[in-house]
A and B are shown apart, each in its own frame.
Chain A
């Protein structure tokens, strides 16, 4: 993730282990880094969160998907996601899990065809509103997740989601990835590669990584709350839109070139 030094820029909530001390140290480290090597963007120094520190709303992770750069017929993002999370299917597309999908839309008036991958992460997610157990939740940094420990598989969230972002695991699974537990009888969806986000550093979600590897660079991942991030600057510079903005869900993923 592209992330400039910004320790101490905002107040942090919910910190453990003397936040003042860390803020001071973080600020000092950022200042030192900036002073010593001017002009070099330190990506992971201030952005990395220690593993014991809970997530806060200091960051809000999001993505900008440029449909003009997204190639028709390319499914690198989908394959990247499948391989990252072990979303092996049974050849039954109606029920196999989909965390990201490619969709092609055509403007009836102009005939303009856009190809785009679909993922969301709402700020006001309907799936969280309807969940009877609290399993569907939005993390402080904007990632919408399912706590499969308390998911009862009722699938209300799947009905509530206007984007059909969620899948239900119908069959017993094996060979799950250690960082991506999945199991029968629970609902799941894109995690924005939360294991990568939590690890910090420069690792971006698998879909965006795969897109970059193909050379399309259609998926830009970053911190919406950081005005210095490449994502925020790009959003500020060029027009973009969210899907079904009339619903007022304030999506973490925005699109360009639709």
Chain B
């Protein structure tokens, strides 16, 4: 009995090692590393070790410049990251870059770092081309909008007739 159990353990170990070996890139020296989908082009906007370590610094700097000063350079823009690194499925549609196994999530889940960018930012270059499910076109089939008056919105002596007018 002991011999069979020992054999089973050994077999399990062998299978585990074999599976791990499949996930390990050749030059990793035995440590399993994430397999990151390759981006478009040959080279990132920064050398790979630099962008790996400091991409969040570039993005943070760019976000403030863009938001407050209207600087719209593309080099460190999050939209450009997504454009270059997004994968396309067999139907030709972009896969959200934060989906499991995609460019951002692969490393972030490996490193155990949560990523907040995509609560607000688009995850594909063609995001928003159609309404998400369970939403309606705002103002369609709705009358008014809960705002009964805007204080003194018009000239003195005027009264509010309707707000949100033009609803279908």
- Our verdict on whether A and B bind, yes or no, reads yes
Interface residues of chain A, those whose CB is within 8 Å of chain B, are 14, 49, 51-55, 72-75, 78-79, 82, 86-91, 93-98, 101-109, 113-115, 118, 137, 139-141, 145, 147-149, 162-164, 172-184, 186, 194, 197-199, 241, 243-244, 246, 258
Contact B150 A103 (CB under 8 A): yes
* B155: Cβ under 8 A from any A Cβ: yes
A147 to B136 alpha-carbon distance, docked (Å) = 26
8 more A-B residue pairs beyond the given contacts A98-B164, A178-B121, with a C-beta to C-beta distance below 8 A: A51-B73, A73-B166, A88-B136, A102-B164, A104-B160, A107-B154, A181-B120, A258-B154
Interface residues of chain B, those whose CB is within 8 Å of chain A, are 63-65, 67-74, 79, 82, 119-122, 125, 127-132, 134-139, 141-147, 150-155, 157-168
Contact of B158 among A98, A108, A181, A246 (CB under 8 A): A108
Contact B120 A148 (CB under 8 A): yes
Contact A93 B142 (CB under 8 A): yes
Contact B127 A106 (CB under 8 A): no
Q: Which residues of A contact B125 (CB under 8 A)?
A: 178
- In the A-B complex, the 6 residue pairs with the smallest Cβ-Cβ separation, listed nearest first, are A75-B166, A183-B120, A54-B69, A89-B138, A94-B146, A105-B154
Contact A88 B166 (CB under 8 A): no
Q: Which residues of A contact B64 (CB under 8 A)?
A: 149
Question: In angstroms, how far is the closest chain B Cβ from the Cβ of A244?
Answer: 5
Contact of B167 among A75, A87, A162 (CB under 8 A): A75
Contact A54 B70 (CB under 8 A): yes
A180 to B120 alpha-carbon distance, docked (Å) = 9
